[in-house]
Structure 1
């Protein structure tokens, strides 16, 4: 302090002498002024240093008080008295609220407490829980009311009623811990101007935690780890926002689960999660990749109008109840390989901008894809549809249904296939309707089986049409269909009536070795190019009135033509 004052006085004195150094009396006065200023400067510096020491002392004292409060609160959490544990939670909340830098630390402590083993009263005990075991009841291997202590005495085991009462008290403590977290993770009605109670940028690690009636509606988190957590009663995340990754792998939701309008900014994992009641993800937004692989939905799974910006993976997921994905949008690949839909499945108006893969998926009830849009490949190879399936007015790029099985009614009316459509080896046990469908490129139905009514009326085949070795057990109708490219029906078999009235074949038409067991109608059919019927058999007669051929009627057909007056008698009218 003294050197500072001397330097200041000297500097001021020299400056004043430089300004007016002619009169000795003035010089003496100037020197006095400089010394006075120097002394004043030294006083100011002294005050500053004293203030700094005082602030440092007070800061250290505040930090010590904070540490003491924190340590005491943590110790209270270890008490065997529920009231003391409650007090510890409120003390930690006060520490975090008053000290923003300590909020994540306090949250970590609360999460660690909730991660300790706990059995929710009234819930069935799981056969196995991960983590450290702390049984609340005596081991069945020691079915005694008393056991020997380490000091040779004998202590009574708590009765079942006492254990249940202790569990209920502990549940109340845990509900308090949950409320501390949920209260401070919600910014309020105006997220742009969050409430003072809001704790921002918080990470939650509740891995394996037993949670009861968790309410995180409209909460804002940075990350959330709920892997293997169990949610007793209901769990609410409606409107919640995760700025980073959110993990729910192997989580168990005992009650209803609400994630409507939730926002997942990065990765979201629900692999092998189980939902015992309704699960709602309507209008949820998944910005990163999301996994529901091997997830189990026991009741309603609601994803109506949900948006998936990254990969959506539902491989081997089980939907035991109603699966609702109407209006859902998939910007990247959507994978449902080997998924099981035991209840109704609805994908009406869903949009798939990436690959849509349902290979070997199983639909036990009705499935609806009406108006769905598939921008790239749609794979349903070896998928099984037990109930009715409807793709009415859907739009496909390339569609693959090779080996798929349709036990109910399969409706593809007015569907547009912009690229190749492949139904090779598909099995239609029920009726199949493709009325008004448009195949812009090749359509392949080779070796498919139609056991019911097959309707292709007014269908447009702009590319090649392949029906080689197809089996039509029921009626087959291609009335007013247009075949712009070559059409192959080689070795196809029509067990019922086959109708091609007013159909138009602009390319070659191949019916070699085809068998018509029922009536065959080609009334007013146009063959603009070659028509081949080598080895074809007609057991039910042919009606070709008004048919037009590029050349004369093939010899194989002439002998089977039924005169027009006999049409009605042969069922060809």
Structure 2
């Protein structure tokens, strides 16, 4: 038997397999490029829709970005940045002067802003990379965000009065100088959250986890803290009047709270 006559067909088969593999890889690469191009087109269209005068078109842009985040992990950081900027623009707490208005009454909840913050707070944080949700100095009073995934987010200076943040994850978030009075944060996770100087008066923090949180100079007057975990929390200068915090609770915290005024026990006689 001629060895060449048997080797050539085998070699031809190997070459055919190599070309088939190369063709499949090339087709796969072209498909990925095509898909990425489609996502880029969808992304650009969504951004244009966010600037539309029509509420329906803006809502379409918001939900288009939500779908892009689900379809393309690599584009999630960009979508987060765009949606964050949209909320900061549409729901800015301060005017062009950079100063708060003389009267900060709670505004009407805007449907497109509610949709945008809902999308941001329900995303999969595993694909955020180094990007953070940036909602600083926004007016989100009365907005509804239960179980929001906002760990590491920037909410410094935000107005969250009366907002629903029940069971929200705000681990390592920045809420310094935020207005959180009357907000529902029952069972929220606030591990190492920065609440420096925040107004938490009459906020609902039942069973909230404030382990290691910074509450220096915070206003906690009348806050509902039953069952809350405060071990390691920094309370230097915080107003804890009418919070019900016990000596046992305070023994596990850091810093010295502001003196609590003693009720006048005089009978007046």
TM-score range, shorter-chain basis? 0.7 to 0.9
Aligned residue for 2:41?
Answer: 68
The CA distance in 2 between the partners of 1:201 and 1:215, in whole Å, is 24
Matches within 5 A, 1:242-253: 242-243=170-171, 245-253=172-180
1:181 corresponds to 2:109: no
TM superposition shift of 1:100: 2.5
Aligned residue for 1:225?
Answer: 154
On the 8 A contact 1:204/1:225 being kept in 2, the answer is yes
Query: What secondary structure sits across from 2:133 in the alignment?
Result: strand
Pick from 290, 293, 296 the counterpart of residue 219 of structure 2.
296
The CA distance in 1 between the partners of 2:96 and 2:10, in whole Å, is 72
1:53 corresponds to 2:26: yes
Query: What secondary structure sits across from 2:206 in the alignment?
Result: coil
The CA distance in 2 between the partners of 1:315 and 1:98, in whole Å, is 48
Query: What secondary structure sits across from 2:44 in the alignment?
Result: helix
On the 8 A contact 1:294/1:314 being kept in 2, the answer is yes
Aligned residue for 2:193?
Answer: 268
The CA distance in 2 between the partners of 1:179 and 1:305, in whole Å, is 28
TM superposition shift of 1:171: 1.5
Matches within 5 A, 1:288-367: 288=212, 290-297=213-220, 300-317=222-239, 319=241, 322-326=242-246, 328=249, 330-336=251-257, 339=258, 361-365=259-263
TM superposition shift of 1:310: 2.0
Change in Cα spacing, 1:69 to 1:107, as seen in structure 2 (3 Å) is same
TM superposition shift of 1:115: 0.9
Aligned residue for 1:236?
Answer: 164
Aligned residue for 2:110?
Answer: 171
RCO greater where, 1 or 2, for CA within 8 Å and sep 6 or more? Answer: 2
| Cα deviation code 1:336-355 (max 9, x no counterpart) | 1xx2xxxxxxxxxxxxxxxx
Aligned residue for 1:38?
Answer: 11
TM superposition shift of 1:58: 1.1
TM superposition shift of 1:301: 0.9
TM-score by length of 2: 0.82
TM superposition shift of 1:261: 2.4
Aligned residue for 1:460?
Answer: none
Aligned residue for 2:103?
Answer: none
Instruction: Kindly report the root-mean-square deviation, in angstroms, between the aligned alpha carbons of the 2 structures.
Output: 3.0
On the 8 A contact 2:150/2:173 being kept in 1, the answer is no
Aligned residue for 1:489?
Answer: none
Q: Across the two proteins, how many residue pairs are aligned to each other?
A: 256
Aligned residue for 2:102?
Answer: none
TM-score by length of 1: 0.41
The CA distance in 2 between the partners of 1:259 and 1:334, in whole Å, is 23
TM superposition shift of 1:103: 2.3
On the 8 A contact 1:305/1:328 being kept in 2, the answer is no
Aligned residue for 1:90?
Answer: 63
The CA distance in 2 between the partners of 1:221 and 1:118, in whole Å, is 18
TM superposition shift of 1:46: 0.7
TM superposition shift of 1:249: 1.1
TM superposition shift of 1:174: 1.0
The CA distance in 2 between the partners of 1:72 and 1:99, in whole Å, is 16
Change in Cα spacing, 1:173 to 1:41, as seen in structure 2 (3 Å) is same
Query: What secondary structure sits across from 2:163 in the alignment?
Result: strand
Aligned residue for 1:5?
Answer: none
Query: What secondary structure sits across from 2:140 in the alignment?
Result: strand
Pick from 70, 74, 78 the counterpart of residue 101 of structure 1.
74
1:209 corresponds to 2:132: no
TM superposition shift of 1:262: 2.2
The gaps in structure 2 that reach 5 residues or longer are: 99-106
TM superposition shift of 1:112: 1.3
The gaps in structure 1 that reach 5 residues or longer are: 1-25, 120-128, 135-166, 186-197, 340-360, 366-386, 389-407, 410-429, 431-573
TM superposition shift of 1:38: 0.6
On the 8 A contact 2:196/2:218 being kept in 1, the answer is yes
On the 8 A contact 1:114/1:210 being kept in 2, the answer is no
On the 8 A contact 1:201/1:221 being kept in 2, the answer is no
Larger helix percent: 2
Pick from 187, 197, 207 the counterpart of residue 283 of structure 1.
207
